[in-house]
Chain A
Amino acid sequence: MSSALWLAVLVSAAGTLLMRLLPLLWMRRRLARLDGDERLDAMPQWLGVLGPLMIAAVLGVSLVPTTPGALSWLATAIGVLATLAVWWKLRSLGWPIAAGVAAYGAVVILAGLATGA
Chain B
Amino acid sequence: MSLQATRVLSRPWLVGLREAIPLLGGYVPVAISFGLIAVQAGFTAWEAVIISTLVYAGASQFLFVGMVAAGSPLWLVVIMTLLINARHVVYAPNIAPWLTTSRAWPWLMHGLTDQVFALAHARLPQLPAAQRLGWFTGAALLAWVSWIGGTALGAVAGEELTRRWPLLGEIMPFALPALFLVLLAPRFTSRRWSLALGSSIAIALLLAVGGLTNAAIPLAAACGALCFYLVKCNATAKGGHHE
Tell me the dominant secondary structure on chain B's binding face.
helix
A42-B93 Cα distance, complex, nearest whole Å: 10
Complex Cα gap A4–B68 (Å):
11
Closest chain B residue, CB of each to CB of A82:
B178
Cβ–Cβ contact A105 & B174, under 8 A: yes
CB-CB under 8 A for A31 and B208, given A56-B224, A92-B3, A93-B3: no
Interfacial residues of chain A within 21-67, with CB under 8 A of chain B in the complex: 21-28, 31, 39-40, 42-43, 46-67
CB < 8 Å: which of A31, A51, A58, A79 contacts B178?
A: A79
Are B174 and A104 in contact, CB atoms less than 8 angstroms apart? yes
A55→B183 contact, CB < 8 A: yes
Given A60-B200, A93-B1, A53 contacting B96 (CB threshold 8 A):
no
B121 and A19 contact, CB distance less than 8 A: no
Closest to A50 in B: B90
Please name the residue on chain B nearest to A100 by beta carbon: B178
In whole angstroms, what is the CA distance A57 to B206 when docked? 11
Closest residue on chain B to residue A55 by CB atoms: B118
Residues of B within 8 A of A11 (CB): 78
Which of A17, A53, A58, A91 contacts B2 (CB under 8 A)? A91
Q: Which residue of B lies closest to A26 (CB)?
A: B93
The answer to whether A101 touches B203 (Cβ under 8 A) is no
Question: Which listed residue (B82, B193, B216, B221) contacts A16, Cβ 8 A?
Answer: B82
* Interface residues of A, dominant DSSP: helix
Hey, which chain B residues are within 8 Å of A53, CB to CB? 196-197, 200, 220-221, 224-225, 228
Known contacts A19-B88, A54-B217; is-contact A105 B171 (Cβ 8 Å): yes
User: Please, how many angstroms separate the alpha-carbon atoms of A36 and B99 in the complex?
Assistant: 13
Q: Is the CB of B91 within 8 A of A54?
A: yes
Q: Decide: A47 near B94, CB < 8 A? Known: A8-B77, A97-B22, A101-B175.
A: yes
Whether B39 sits at the interface, judged by CB under 8 Å, is no
Instruction: List 11 additional A-B contacts (Cβ < 8 Å) besides A56-B184, A57-B203, A67-B170.
Output: A16-B81, A24-B109, A46-B225, A47-B90, A47-B93, A56-B221, A60-B203, A60-B208, A84-B181, A87-B185, A101-B175
Of all A-B residue pairs in the complex, the 8 with the closest CB atoms, nearest first, are: A60-B204, A100-B178, A24-B92, A51-B94, A13-B54, A59-B180, A56-B200, A57-B220
B residues sitting closer than 8 Å to A (CB atoms) are: 1-4, 19, 21-22, 25-26, 43-44, 47, 50-51, 54-57, 60, 64, 68, 74, 77-78, 81-82, 85-94, 96-97, 99, 105-107, 109-110, 112, 114-115, 117-118, 121, 167, 169-185, 187, 193, 196-198, 200-209, 213, 216-221, 224-225, 228
List 20 contacting pairs A-B, 8 Å CB cutoff, sorted by A. Answer: A16-B82, A20-B92, A21-B106, A23-B90, A31-B96, A43-B93, A50-B221, A61-B205, A65-B170, A72-B170, A79-B177, A87-B185, A92-B3, A94-B22, A97-B22, A100-B181, A101-B178, A105-B174, A108-B167, A109-B171
